[in-house]
Amino acid sequence: MAYSGEPLRAEDLLFRPQHSLIDQSLHSKMGATTTNGDGFGIGWYGEGPVPAVFKSVDPAWNDRNLREVAAQIRTPLMFAHIRASTGTPVQRSNCHPFRHDNWLWMHNGSVAGFHDLKRDLMLAVDPSLYPDIEGSTDSETLFFLALTFGLTDDPVGAVQRAVGLVEDVAERHGVEHPVQMSAATTDGTSIWAFRYSSIGQTRTLFYSTAVEHLRALHPELEVLRELSDDARLVVSEPLRDLPGAWQEVPESSWGVVRGGHDDLQPFTPERSHAAV
């Protein structure tokens, strides 16, 4: 889940919505696994340009510190993630969101055959970035590949090149359909979201409709009056069953949310002919 808009309390984002992220960690309806209890994390922008992250391997639904802290945080931009491990250890350094300077990254999905591809992927990470990798997941590797390919200057192009590289390396190793990715990244101002998988069947990803449009549809809902005009959410599952509130990011697309505006474009991995 990613939020941007007027500063809200983290508590209101995490615990208040009907079918909230915390609730989803217990009873995911659309995710690949039905219980996501392998750690969670939030990242938010507050004091200073570098976001803070709170990550833990305790199940999110029982973390009392998370509740305490969430009640004290106001933030204009927050990422929140519940992890279901696809094999790598359950430890704080493998929890999302991952951070580099003022950037955050989180990812639902996996790199198929990661055990076999890992070394080649790690070799492709810029040597100056390499030592900052703290965990052992495919998700963090994707982030560092994107950083290597210029995430901070050209987020979409960098992710397209990172995904292309993974597909190149996978092809060399005989791994089919390596990438499964619903992902989001932010620099503290804009949120880029990506929905792509090599096989063309990616986990769901939604973004919220413009708030003014929603207010017109549901004038009776008080919660909408509390939201600022530029408030936007990107989620893997809708937080409420509210007609008109959620639009699905189409297969093989990326979108950006900035100052309440959004844009959707096709996502096309950039593969290197040399590598194939």
Residues forming contacts to its own copies in the complex (CB under 8 A) are: 9, 26-27, 34-35, 37-38, 44, 46-48, 52-59, 61-62, 64-65, 68-69, 71-74, 85, 89-93, 115-116, 118-119, 122-123, 127, 130-131, 133-136
Which residue, 133 or 275, is less far from its own copies as judged by CB? Answer: 133
| Cβ at position 259, least distance to its own copies in Å | 24
DSSP 198: T
Residues in the chain: 276
| Cβ at position 44, least distance to its own copies in Å | 8
Q: Residue 141 contacts by C-beta under 8 Å, 6 or more apart in sequence?
A: 111, 114, 118, 121, 122, 125, 133
Which residue, 10 or 227, is less far from its own copies as judged by CB? Answer: 10
| Cβ at position 20, least distance to its own copies in Å | 15
Which residue, 66 or 245, is less far from its own copies as judged by CB? Answer: 66
| Cβ at position 205, least distance to its own copies in Å | 24
| Cβ at position 91, least distance to its own copies in Å | 4
Which residue, 144 or 206, is less far from its own copies as judged by CB? Answer: 144
Q: With DSSP H G I counted as helix, E B as strand and the rest as coil, what are the percentages for the chain, rounded to 5?
A: 30, 30, 45
DSSP state string for 90-154:
-SGGGSSPEEETTEEEEEEEEETTHHHHHHHHHHHS-TTTGGG--S--HHHHHHHHHHHTTTTT-
The span from the CA of 141 to the CA of 122, in Å, is 7
Which residue, 92 or 261, is less far from its own copies as judged by CB? Answer: 92
